[in-house]
Amino acid sequence: MAKLWAGRFSKNTDETVNAFNASILFDQRLYPQDIEGSLAHSEMLARQGIISLEDKEAIHQGLKEIKEALDQKQIVLDQRYEDIHMAIEQILTEKIGDAGKRLHTGRSRNDQVALDVRLYVRKELLEVSELLKELLRTLVQIAKENTHTILPGYTHLQRAQPISFGHEMMAYANMIRRDVKRIHNTLEVMDECPLGSGALAGTTYPLDRELSASLLGFSKACDNSLDGVSDRDYCLEAMSDLSILMMHLSRLSEEVIAWCSWEFKFIELDDAFATGSSIMPQKKNPDICELIRGKTGRVYGDLMQLLTTMKGIPLAYNKDMQEDKESVFDAFDTVKICLQVLIPMLETMQVLDENMKNAAMKGFINATDMADYLTRKGMPFRDAYKITGQLVAKALEKKQGLNELSLDELKEYSDLFEDDVYDAIDLLTCLNARLTKGGPSPAEVSRQIKVMEEFIDSL
């Protein structure tokens, strides 16, 4: 097939070069965006009197038919076409003749591809944002059911202080809320349309760039044509957002993996969201979480690839930038599938509150509360800290919890101990008392949940 750019060439392209140069095998998924862009461009051309109304009608009719045929996979897009932009123009011209050849008036593939990728990133970001809304709903639901479910909170993976499983879920909800905000911010920053930037220097036709921009749902046309064709910041920003999001999902996955182990046994995954071993009949593995943790590296890689590709490119368009697509596609595909399996996995997992409670009973996580008890009775905190430490050592020696030491034993260390100490170091008391804003008390977590629900409703 002759190239659309064949004019100045006297030889056909070498076959290997053809294959090397072509992006059609991966950029064909941009066909809806490419057609959307062409519909808007031709509409604007007609309204500006640059093409006739009849030509525009023919172009629109032809593009709609091509879109339907592509939706139904009736057209095979192969390497003869080089890329999706040339493919559609060529198929259109075969269909409607000269009108098809007028579509590209005042446009270059450089602003065309810059537009297509931008439209694609915008659509994908909105999809991810919807999935995150679902994830937030799930986390809030689990939190609501578990405001009183005592869980040992950890630092250094050592049992530290009592929290609730609801508090833990709300921590993740807060991370995801920031992810949503970051995505919305990216959408705002990228809200300008590159169409009309031409190859690099605009065009001599009287284009109405603001009209094209508004037809395509952008608030404005971008301000500089060189930047318009060579800006891929929005891809990088989107992939940065996705990388941070994956980091959050990976941390949650890491915890779920630990919680599923016999060592913790804080949760039980639903059979539909766990996998077995080919040799060990007893195994029920949290493969989903391991894959999410693993795929996080892959999304970081996607971001690194494009950052590295972009850093040495002089203005304006260079073919290096064709390398923007596969990593952007991969990052979105990966994040979406991760969220699609993670959400129902969380929804169906069983919270083993007894096991959480038992673990909480064993780790001396009420030691701070015992020190606070003595402090409230007048002892300087540092002294209270030291005495409680000694009591922990004693309890360890006796293989007991702090609450199992008798009042006489406690009094050997300080006269300030009274009967009310047992209530003061009861785990539920410890939890209820942590009322500071952001803390784990059921009342406070309920407040956090309310704030989060308002955020979800505002989306």
Q: Which residues does the annotation mark as catalytic? A: 156, 277
Residue 109 touches ligand ARG, criterion: CB under 6 A? yes
Please, which residue, 54 or 78, has the CB nearer to ligand ARG?
78
A 10 A CB-CB count for 99 gives 22
Residues 286-325 that bind ligand ARG (CB under 6 A): 317, 319, 321-322
Nearest-approach distance from CB 85 to ligand ARG, in angstroms: 6
325-348 and 233-260 helices, crossing angle to 10°:
30
Residue 23 touches ligand ARG, criterion: CB under 6 A? yes
Size of site (CB under 6 A) for ligand ARG:
11
Please, which residue, 159 or 325, has the CB nearer to ligand ARG?
325
Please, which residue, 151 or 321, has the CB nearer to ligand ARG?
321
- Collapsing DSSP to helix, strand or coil, 42 comes out as helix
Please, which residue, 35 or 176, has the CB nearer to ligand ARG?
35
Nearest-approach distance from CB 51 to ligand ARG, in angstroms: 22
Integer Cα distance of 446 and 452 in angstroms: 10
Per DSSP, the residues of 416-438 read T--TTHHHHTSHHHHHHH--STT
Q: What b/e string do you get for 82-93 counting C-beta neighbours within 10 Å, with b at 16 or more?
A: bbbbbbbbbbbb
Integer Cα distance of 299 and 239 in angstroms: 7
- Collapsing DSSP to helix, strand or coil, 10 comes out as coil
Residue 34 touches ligand ARG, criterion: CB under 6 A? no
Sequence-distant (6+) residues with CB within 8 A of 212 are 40, 41, 44, 193, 195, 196, 221
Residues 119-148 that bind ligand ARG (CB under 6 A): none
Please, which residue, 85 or 118, has the CB nearer to ligand ARG?
85
Opening angle at CA 196, ends 55 and 317, nearest 5: 125
A 10 A CB-CB count for 264 gives 17
Please, which residue, 110 or 250, has the CB nearer to ligand ARG?
110
Please, which residue, 117 or 424, has the CB nearer to ligand ARG?
117
Nearest-approach distance from CB 443 to ligand ARG, in angstroms: 55
Q: Which stretch binds ligand ARG (CB under 6 A): 33-41, 89-97, 105-113, 267-275?
A: 105-113
Q: Which stretch binds ligand ARG (CB under 6 A): 43-51, 109-117, 207-215, 389-397?
A: 109-117
Residue 102 touches ligand ARG, criterion: CB under 6 A? no
Residue 417 touches ligand ARG, criterion: CB under 6 A? no
CB 264 within 8 A of CB 359: yes
x/- track of binding to ligand ARG for residues 72-101 (CB under 6 A): -----------x-x----------------
Name residue, tokens 């996998």: 275
Nearest-approach distance from CB 338 to ligand ARG, in angstroms: 27
Nearest-approach distance from CB 110 to ligand ARG, in angstroms: 5
Please, which residue, 309 or 355, has the CB nearer to ligand ARG?
309
Opening angle at CA 33, ends 243 and 14, nearest 5: 90
Q: Where do the H-state alpha helices sit in 261-404? A: 287-310, 325-348, 353-362, 367-376, 381-397
Element at 268 (helix H, strand E):
strand 267-268
Closest CA to 296 of 256, 261, 252: 252
Nearest-approach distance from CB 79 to ligand ARG, in angstroms: 12
Closest CA to 159 of 375, 346, 430: 430
Residue 113 touches ligand ARG, criterion: CB under 6 A? yes
x/- track of binding to ligand ARG for residues 323-342 (CB under 6 A): --------------------
Nearest-approach distance from CB 118 to ligand ARG, in angstroms: 13
Nearest-approach distance from CB 322 to ligand ARG, in angstroms: 4
Residue 110 touches ligand ARG, criterion: CB under 6 A? yes
CB 212 within 8 A of CB 41: yes
Which residues of the shown chain bind ligand ARG in the complex (CB under 6 A)? 23, 27, 83, 85, 109-110, 113, 317, 319, 321-322
